[in-house]
Amino acid sequence: MGLFSPFVRTRAVIGIALAQLRRSPGRTVLAVLAVTLSVLAITLLASLGVGVVEVGETGLDNADRDIWVSSDPVDPSADGAENPIPDAHGTSAALTERDDISSAAPLAMHQVYVGTEPDQLERTTAVGVQETHDGFDFEAGSGFDRAELPDEGERPTDPQTAEIVLDPQVADDAGADVGDTVYVGTSRQTAPEYEFTVVGIASYYSQFLGTPAATVPLPDLQIVAGTTGTDRATFITADVADGADQEAVRDDLATEYPEYDVRTSDEQIEAMVAEQPLVLASGMTLVGLAVVGGSVLTINLFALMVTQQRRELAALRAIGLSRGLLSGMIAVQGLVIGLLGGIVGVAATPLLADGLNRVALSLVGFENLLRTPVEVYVAGFALALSVGTVVAGITGWRVGRTLKLEHLEQ
């Protein structure tokens, strides 16, 4: 008997724990639901944190350019963007002439005011590009063709193409649709001077920037911003030729243009994310809150559950069960409840994340703001299982030390 006593005790602990759970089905179901909520708090908040950090990375990755040329300061946030590269078209043309580069193009960003009425303008970010291309996934309308500055002669003072692609949220705020005329300017005073035709609705560069943005032909945006004379841009992007080594091209360009920062696409992603500490802090804070909040909810749940069983535990203690057995019995209950709550919470996460993503898309215009990598599910399930078991066991041990016969009379 002595050899099998640990096995017998373990069976007894498990049997009593399961009997306790079956005896109070309502309490068990509520406990499982509470753990499910804790798991969802972890998985959904962590998914949001991961999504916040990855929005900028994904947008830049979707740009699908091999080389990024920039200069300090680079601030692609919604609060403003500087355009430190002069003679952007000339530099792009020089890069394109290289044998190891297949194409190069400048990209500029400015804060502008947009609206269908001169006295009803909303501030947003405008991205100036040579042309729209595949991947814009237009909700309505289409893009604009390639726009170039004149090679020689006097520079125009009015937009030549005068076409604009609006982010869906910007279009809604402005009450604009494809075919409508909107006013665009870098100030409320200058906006009435420039009329643009809305040719498309798309959020392509909103994903790139992490904020709703309009897309405008680069020469037209430079005219609106008053930078046509210096031909300024925020970035010059380039694709390397087939067979060319991306890092070797980067090194050659860095030597040829020491006044600029030349990065590969991966390096540019790291640089831009690092230059957005608010985004990083927000993402990490959400992940931290998810873990701490879920842990606190789980700890409170099992402390309350053990307290509600004080009378039954006092009876078991009175007939001779040790504190270790009582603690093990409560830990088994925590393991079972954590297992069931973890399974339900993990199973419900993708459904709720999909619903919240739809809400986020309708409110702020971002797709897949909540990201659910495998690590998010593992973290939620592991916390429910481990914290539930450990906290329940510790709580049972502490309660066992304070049990008195008076608790049987309560």
For residues 290 and 288, give the distance between their C-alpha atoms in angstroms, rounded to a whole number: 5
Residue 231: strand, helix, or coil: coil
Distance of CA 394 to the CA centre of its chain: 37
Residue 253 sits in the same domain as residue 153: yes
Query: Over the stretch 56-93, which tens digit does the pLDDT of each residue have?
Result: 556 556 666 788 898 865 454 444 456 889 888 889 98
The pLDDT > 70 percentage for the chain reads 80
CA distance 105 to 92: 5
Buried b (16+ CB within 10 A) or exposed e, 206-216: bbbbbbbbbbb
Do 82 and 158 lie in one domain? The reply is yes
- Residue 250 maps to a domain: yes
pLDDT at 277: 58
pLDDT confidence of residue 215: 93
Q: Are residues 185 and 310 in the same domain?
A: no
- Please tell me which of 251-265, 315-329, 377-391 the model is most confident about, judged by mean pLDDT: 251-265
Report pLDDT for 278. Answer: 60
- Which of 98 and 33 is assigned the larger pLDDT? 98
Residue type, 294: G
Is 273 in contact with 53 (CB distance < 8 Å)? yes
Give CA–CA dist 17/14, Å, rounded.
5
Which of 258, 292, 317 is a domain's end point?
A: 258
Pick the closest to residue 9 from 309, 322, 319 (CA basis): 322
Residue 395 maps to a domain:
yes
* pLDDT tens digits, one per residue of 168-221: 888 988 889 999 999 999 989 999 999 999 999 988 887 767 678 899 999 999
Same domain, 42 and 79: no
Question: Do both 238 and 329 map to the same domain?
Answer: no
pLDDT of residue 211: 74
Flag whether 270 is in a domain. no
Q: Which residues contact 287 (CB under 8 A, 6 or more apart)?
A: 45, 46, 49, 50
What's the mean pLDDT in 257-269?
Answer: 85
Pairing mode, strands 163-166 and 195-201: parallel
- Of 4 and 201, the one with more pLDDT: 201
pLDDT bracket for residue 373 (50, 70, 90): confident
Mean pLDDT, range 220-224, rounded to an integer: 91
Tell me, yes or no, whether 235 and 303 share the same domain: no
- Count of CB atoms within 10 A of residue 170's CB? 26
User: What is the C-alpha to C-alpha distance for residues 160 and 157, in angstroms, rounded to an integer?
Assistant: 9
Question: One-letter amino acid identity for 21?
Answer: L
User: Tokens 């996460």 identify what position?
Assistant: 349
* pLDDT value at residue 116: 92
State how far the Cα of 110 lies from the Cα of 187, in Å rounded to an integer.
11
The more confident residue out of 271 and 251 is 251
Residue 272 domain flag:
no
Residue 35 is predicted with a pLDDT of: 81
Contact call for residues 239 and 66 (beta carbons, < 8 A): yes
Co-location of 305 and 371 in the same domain: yes
User: For residues 307 and 399, is the Cβ–Cβ distance under 8 A?
Assistant: yes
Q: How many residues does the chain have?
A: 410
Q: What is the band of 114 on the pLDDT scale with cuts at 50, 70, 90?
A: very high
Of 224, 258, 292, the residue that ends a domain is 258
Q: Are residues 78 and 210 in the same domain?
A: yes
CA distances from 66 to 97, 232, 249 (A): 16, 21, 10
Separation CA 360–CA 105 (nearest Å)? 32
Per-residue pLDDT at 59: 58
The answer to whether residue 263 sits within a structural domain is no
Q: Is residue 151 part of a domain?
A: yes
Task: Note the Cα 216 to chain centre separation in Å.
Answer: 26
pLDDT digits (tens, 9 = 90+) for 284-332: 676 677 677 767 777 777 777 777 777 777 777 777 777 777 778 888 8
Helix (H, G, I), strand (E, B) or coil at 331: helix
165 forms bridges with which residues in the sheet? 200, 215
Q: Which two tokens stand for residue 106?
A: 């400048």
The answer to whether residue 1 is domain-embedded is: no
Specify whether 17 is located in the same domain as 106. no
Amino acid at 322: S
pLDDT of residue 78: 43
Tokens of 251: 């090194």
Of 197, 226, 258, the residue that ends a domain is: 258
Same domain? 86 vs 36? no
* Mean pLDDT, residues 140-156 taken together: 73
| Position 228 pLDDT exceeds 70 | yes
User: What pLDDT was estimated at residue 58?
Assistant: 61
d(CA 354, CA 164): 31
Let me know whether 345 and 241 are in one domain.
no
Residue given tokens 């740009």 in the structure block: 63
Q: For residue 122, is it within any domain?
A: yes
Whole domain around residue 202: which residue ranges?
73-258
Instruction: Look at residue 400 and give its three-state secondary structure.
Output: helix
> Do residues 91 and 211 share a domain?
yes
Q: Categorize the per-residue pLDDT at 333 as very low, low, confident or very high, splitting at 50, 70 and 90.
A: confident
pLDDT of amino acid 221:
92
Structure token digits, residue 377: 């599910």
Q: What is the pLDDT of residues 337-371, one digit of tens each?
A: 888 888 998 999 998 888 888 877 766 556 677 78
SS3 per-residue string spanning 38-59: HHHHHHHHHHHHHHHHHHHHHH
Which of 330, 305, 304, 303 lies closest to 316 in space, CA to CA? 330
- Count of domains forming the chain: 2
